[in-house]
Structure 1
Amino acid sequence: MSIRQRQVYILLTIILLTVVTLTIFNYKSSKNFVLETVQKETKGLLDSFTDETNKFSNERVAELELIADYIALLESEEEIVKFLGEQREKMPFFASLGFITTEGEVLAGDGTRFPVNQIESFDRALQGETVFSDIFPFFQDSTQLVTAVRIPVIKNEKTIGVLSGVVNMGNVLGSIAKESNLPGTLFLLKENQLVFSSSDSKLEKSGPQVSGVLKEIQESEQGTILIDENTAHYVMYQRTAGDWTVVVDSFTDRMKDQISSIFWRNTLIVGFSFLILCGIYFYVRNNEKREENLLKRDLLTNLPNRVMLEESLKKDLNPQSFKKFTLFFINLDRFKEINERNGYQLGDRVLFETSRKIQAFAGRYDLYRVGGDEFVLIAPFTSEEEVKTIAVNLVKLMESPIELSSFESVWVTFSVGIRKSSLGDWPDLMMQDATFAVQEAKKHGGNRYVFFSQELANQNERVRLIANNVVHALANQEYFMVYQPVYDLSTKKITSYEALLRWESPIIGQVSPVEFIPLLEESDLIIPVGRWIFRQVITQIKLWEEEGHEDFHVAINISVKHMMHPDFLYDVKSIIHEMKISPQRLIFEITETVAVQNTDLAIQILSELNILGVKTALDDFGTGYSSLSVLKLLPIQQVKVDRSFIVEMEQDGEKSLVILQGVLDIAKNLGMSTVMEGVETPEQLELLRELGAQKIQGYLISRPVVAELAIELRKQTWLH
């Protein structure tokens, strides 16, 4: 075989494989398109017939209400029968009109009298309800299965009887079906009883899967059953007003023939022209979708976005068109960790799969994606129990992990904040309150729902008040510094202090650092506030030096965000130079998160501080990401061991003691001094002394106090 022949054979093989591949691809894509089209058309027909049924039911109720009002004005039964007979002639869609006396006797418009059927619906109508009865045989023609719309007739605020309009919904829906081009079979059910079929076929003949459709209809108001993918055969059902159920069976021989011919037709449509046309089509289509999505659609999930949510909320909360509804704010727990651990590409896949799960659950409710890992579900408010059921099911929705592939899965949970609408609400307030409820759920570990309550409203109001006032606290000189002493066990003296920021607001009062420090971090106010803290501490050190105090250090907590700021080192050097103090007086305390955000830059900054003479310490050791590796990585001279070690030591016993002993030994062997935080009792002190702790800090020595009292504490003696 020559080289040319081999090349021809290879080329032919490639062409053959290409043809086969394209044929298979085109067959599958065409088949899926037909399936989607049939499903869409069937759903459209279902919605159309449902709307017509609802419209017909609503119109009949309105007409009967008018007739009932007129009957209340009539004096005798003869007048009532005559009037009903006249109305029956004008309203052929009613099989019969009758007035039911309080004793249960029906006075029909045709003059007949007979006992009332469907006693339960009659009794409910006497109680003032508008009721659709169950199906029953028509008195005048037992071959007809009918239902009755029953409305109380009230005279002088007293129910004198019930107006009953008998309707053969099979005839009504049949006339509608005749006027439409129905590509399938339409069924009408009432209480799981077949009332009407647009053809001679039976519902049970739709396939073996339909054997459970009646059970499904009982359990849910709407649904879809895929009977046979190869013939695009769907059965869809939906509940209407009056507890009618409309069922559409999509199966037709035409659709079966169409799918079977797709393969043979696709074998003939292979070529670059088809690919080019498809490419152009999808390109234009995607561009159009992209333009639309940029405005009101989320690009990843194709859900309505925050813009559409705000428009919907404004409309529903408008006093003129106010609707009662419940807003479920859904937030993924620890999604940031998923992104950081696995990358944003996998994070997007998790969001996409999560949104699919919520969409499948949401059904007829409105669903929006309003943020990175935030979704909002809007449901009409009916009862507290139903709202709670929705919330419980939302949380349970993520009980199993998200399977991204055969070897890749991610476990995700939800925190759900629930806020009910009330007259006078506005969109921002509802979203703010729901967000606060989500945060409350996350505080308790997530994977739960929280109703926004008055108690949470009060907390939320305080958070808003703090957030609004913290912006001006620095300019209004509302901050002040306190100092907590650190006690050296070997010298039995106070050798250093930790400088701590406090806020006394003239409006709020004393505000805990736990409440306002995170706000400073989020808003970047921590940078100017950090500069102010540094200057205040340097000034205090200078004052103590001038008063003759020696052998002391002051530790300052440095925010990671502040430390990473380009001006940080310049500010430190310039203030030290300006105040002419010894840098050796200073200890900068950082947390382990610095090693996560930018390790190289952190090492560089800490090293320059050490060169300057400033000592560095690792604060809250043991609460972060990778404590032991951080000790080796960062150029620090001191380790402050978090008080949780002491708590666990007292609770867990020997194991925690061994761990704490190991921490102290590791720090000592690395040439670092240790400070134990949160020491509150003499027993804790003695145990730490036995373990080899060097310094302690806590309420046993002193709470944080103002500078004047802090320096006086050095004159006292403790723990000898």
Structure 2
Amino acid sequence: MAHVPDRPTHSSLVSEGDSILADTLRLSVSKHKIDEHFTLVWANRYYYDFIGYPKDEYEALFQNRPDLYFADNPEDFGVIAEHVTEALEKNTGGYECIAGLNVKGGHKWVKFVSTFLDEYVDGCQLSYTTMTDVTDLVEAQQHLEEANVELERLAFVDPVTKGFNQTRFDLTARRVIDQAELGAYALVALDLKKFKLLNEIQGTESGDMVLRFVYDRLRAHLDGDECVGRINADAFNVLMRDEGAQAMYERIDGMVQDINRFNVDAERPYFLSFTVGVYPIDDTSLPMTLVRDRANVARGSSKEASNARHFTCMFYSDVDRQNLLSEQDMENRMHGALERGEFVAYFQPKQLLADGSIGGAEALVRWIDPVRGLVPPDDFVPYFERNGFIINVDLCVFEQVCALLASWIEQGRQPVPISVNMSRAHLREQDFLTPYEKIRARYGVPASLIEFELTETLVFGDPETFKGVIDLLHARGYRCSLDDFGSGYSSLNVLKDVDIDTMKLDRAFFSAGDDAGQREWDVVESVVDLAKKLDLGTVAEGVEEPGQAARLRAIDCDMLQGYVFSRPVPVAEFEQMLFGE
């Protein structure tokens, strides 16, 4: 502690009034020399009560020297000494600080408030000090800080990789992009292919290990302000310097090859493959959600590309930009279009091959825009499936089907079964069938007149759920058909596991037209024979040539659906074909 010049000493170290006030408040009060020991020269009874040592014991053990008292926690004594020194240098006349204090039998956090007096002992100025127990306050603050650290971890740390989550990545990337020159960075979106399959085979614990490994390898290839984050599931985003398409492609290639280096000496290699999309950030005003959307649009395009290097990669283009603008336009118009009745059911008849009559029809949606005219379903259905609006459209078509069937019954006409499509988006809700049932009940239509067309990929990798959907539909009286049979690799397994009513042969079987060879027809005939053995109805889709229709009739296929018989038509035209009016 600092020394001051010798001054005359005062015979009275504390006034009687001060002592009475301190005792009334049960407050620890003491006077110390401002020397290297901070020597105690006087203390009231509550000073000793506060530290837990009686006066005689304190004097015997510590010789009235706080520096000896603090010998086992010198850091806290250093905190006090630092405040004393600063107060003397700045001539503030005193100090306040909080420091730890080991008391007899425990530990306290103490607030020290000290005033420098115009009193001197042995040439040293005196300090008048009070001590207040603030342990509860300090510990509460510590708990709050710990809670804040935990909240920050939850908010910014990915629980699987222990690295950046989407929030942390977006904040970091935003700062880097804003501080850089235009065109300096690109966002790379990577998606691990068939990761769900890996989770199912190896378990989620192994899956998490793979995600951590991928994250660590990606991060090892970055430097400077570049960063990586796991955005969700098996999707990663990387902010990389934009050094041109070729250079970026080579860097991404190096990352993927490094990730798969563990296969070099593996007896049974298991390569990790990725779809990759790159958006060179040419508009720094875009929010991170749109920056990511553009990279994901490019990544979606890369799914169709081929590459022998365990990844496919596409860069965001003007075509992608136009597609995004088109999708935004649809997003803006779709709700109003639904309210105005612009989504209309067209009907493609199914021809009974035995006698050429109409045995049913498939309801297909068309968007009749008052400005743009008839919008092809390929232009809007895929987008609606992605954003979930397909649920509204499916129910709209279902209601039109129910209304049509009800009108036929009311008019005494003989109805034919109508099939409708159901998107996988419906299955996100457990009670997905309830809206359908409410509509059907309102029109009083028998469920047996309606067939739901389901694709084998509707519940990919989860045959039990697929089976449960069909069982539920059957329980309510509906029929079920397996659409696009033969388009995937699991068709036979699906037939084995689920109780469908009708098999619809995929149009790919008939894409060659009359040029199809005998081998192709042998496959078709075998499928039809298998369906007969399973007591399933058969419908051939996409048939366009009369010769195909004749061969299908010869192998005893039940129905065909295709342009050779009829394109999808409006309801009035369909009724004319069906009832001859």
Q: Distance in 1 between the 2:261 and 2:293 partners? A: 30
1:437 aligned residue = 298
Q: Distance in 1 between the 2:415 and 2:391 partners? A: 30
Q: Distance in 2 between the 1:404 and 1:508 partners? A: 56
- SS for the counterpart of 1:410 is coil
Are positions 1:671 and 2:531 aligned together? Answer: no
Are positions 1:491 and 2:355 aligned together? Answer: yes
Q: Distance in 1 between the 2:235 and 2:253 partners? A: 18
Q: Distance in 2 between the 1:564 and 1:381 partners? A: 39
TM-superposed deviation, 1:327 = 2.4
Provide Cα deviations, 1:488-525, integer angstroms capped at 9, x if missing partner: 01021111110112223457664443443344444444
* Counterpart among 189, 196, 199 of residue 336 in structure 1: 196
Of 595-604 and 488-497, more deviation after overlay is shown by 595-604
- SS for the counterpart of 2:339 is coil
TM-superposed deviation, 1:704 = 0.8
1:379 aligned residue = 240
Q: Distance in 2 between the 1:467 and 1:494 partners? A: 37
Distance 1:497 1:385, change over 3 A: closer
Q: Distance in 2 between the 1:428 and 1:483 partners? A: 40
- SS for the counterpart of 1:328 is strand
2:547 aligned residue = 683
1:112 aligned residue = none
TM-superposed deviation, 1:544 = 2.9
* Counterpart among 389, 398, 402 of residue 250 in structure 2: 389
**What code does the residue aligned with 1:437 have?**
A
Q: Distance in 2 between the 1:458 and 1:594 partners? A: 29
Provide Cα deviations, 1:457-484, integer angstroms capped at 9, x if missing partner: 1122222333443354423432111100
Q: 1:218-229 alignment to 2 at 5 Å?
A: none
Which has the larger Rg? 2
TM-superposed deviation, 1:526 = 3.9
2:352–2:560: 8 Å Cα contact kept in structure 1? Answer: yes
1:702 aligned residue = 566
2:401 aligned residue = 537
Q: Distance in 1 between the 2:530 and 2:541 partners? A: 17
Q: Distance in 2 between the 1:598 and 1:710 partners? A: 37
Distance 1:422 1:610, change over 3 A: closer
Root mean square deviation, CA, Å: 3.5
Size of the aligned set, in residue pairs, is 431
TM-superposed deviation, 1:554 = 1.0
Distance 1:476 1:377, change over 3 A: same
Are positions 1:312 and 2:172 aligned together? Answer: yes
Q: Distance in 1 between the 2:446 and 2:155 partners? A: 58
1:419–1:452: 8 Å Cα contact kept in structure 2? Answer: yes
**What code does the residue aligned with 2:453 have?**
E
Q: 1:238-387 alignment to 2 at 5 Å?
A: 293-318=153-178, 324-364=184-224, 366-371=226-231, 372-387=233-248
Q: Distance in 2 between the 1:301 and 1:644 partners? A: 43
Q: Distance in 2 between the 1:479 and 1:705 partners? A: 14
Gaps of 5+ in 1: 1-285
Q: Distance in 1 between the 2:470 and 2:236 partners? A: 41
Distance 1:316 1:505, change over 3 A: farther
TM-superposed deviation, 1:709 = 0.6
TM-superposed deviation, 1:685 = 1.5
Q: Distance in 1 between the 2:262 and 2:496 partners? A: 37
2:502–2:539: 8 Å Cα contact kept in structure 1? Answer: yes
Distance 1:526 1:451, change over 3 A: closer
TM-superposed deviation, 1:594 = 5.1
- SS for the counterpart of 2:221 is helix
Are positions 1:642 and 2:506 aligned together? Answer: yes
Distance 1:658 1:547, change over 3 A: same
2:447 aligned residue = 583
* Counterpart among 458, 470, 478 of residue 334 in structure 2: 470
Q: 1:399-438 alignment to 2 at 5 Å?
A: 400=260, 402-403=262-263, 409-422=269-282, 424-426=284-286, 427-438=288-299
Q: Distance in 2 between the 1:387 and 1:570 partners? A: 50
TM-score (norm 1): 0.53
- SS for the counterpart of 1:376 is strand
Distance 1:476 1:673, change over 3 A: same
**What code does the residue aligned with 2:562 have?**
G
**What code does the residue aligned with 1:336 have?**
K
Q: Distance in 2 between the 1:508 and 1:402 partners? A: 54
Distance 1:394 1:471, change over 3 A: farther
Q: Distance in 2 between the 1:633 and 1:546 partners? A: 39
Q: 1:173-188 alignment to 2 at 5 Å?
A: none
**What code does the residue aligned with 2:538 have?**
T
Provide Cα deviations, 1:52-72, integer angstroms capped at 9, x if missing partner: xxxxxxxxxxxxxxxxxxxxx
1:440–1:450: 8 Å Cα contact kept in structure 2? Answer: yes
TM-superposed deviation, 1:346 = 2.4
**What code does the residue aligned with 2:578 have?**
R
Structure 1 or 2: larger helix share? Answer: 1
TM-superposed deviation, 1:339 = 2.9
1:317–1:425: 8 Å Cα contact kept in structure 2? Answer: no
1:660 aligned residue = 524
2:321 aligned residue = 457
Q: Distance in 2 between the 1:315 and 1:520 partners? A: 34
Q: Distance in 1 between the 2:209 and 2:503 partners? A: 40
Q: Distance in 2 between the 1:299 and 1:346 partners? A: 15
Distance 1:643 1:389, change over 3 A: same
TM-score (norm 2): 0.65
Provide Cα deviations, 1:88-111, integer angstroms capped at 9, x if missing partner: xxxxxxxxxxxxxxxxxxxxxxxx
Distance 1:649 1:681, change over 3 A: closer
Distance 1:476 1:696, change over 3 A: same
Q: Distance in 1 between the 2:188 and 2:472 partners? A: 50
Q: Distance in 2 between the 1:564 and 1:322 partners? A: 41
TM-superposed deviation, 1:570 = 4.5
Identity, in percent, stands at 26
1:315–1:321: 8 Å Cα contact kept in structure 2? Answer: no
Q: Distance in 2 between the 1:306 and 1:478 partners? A: 38
- SS for the counterpart of 1:362 is coil
TM-superposed deviation, 1:429 = 2.8
TM-superposed deviation, 1:667 = 0.7
Q: Distance in 1 between the 2:250 and 2:469 partners? A: 53
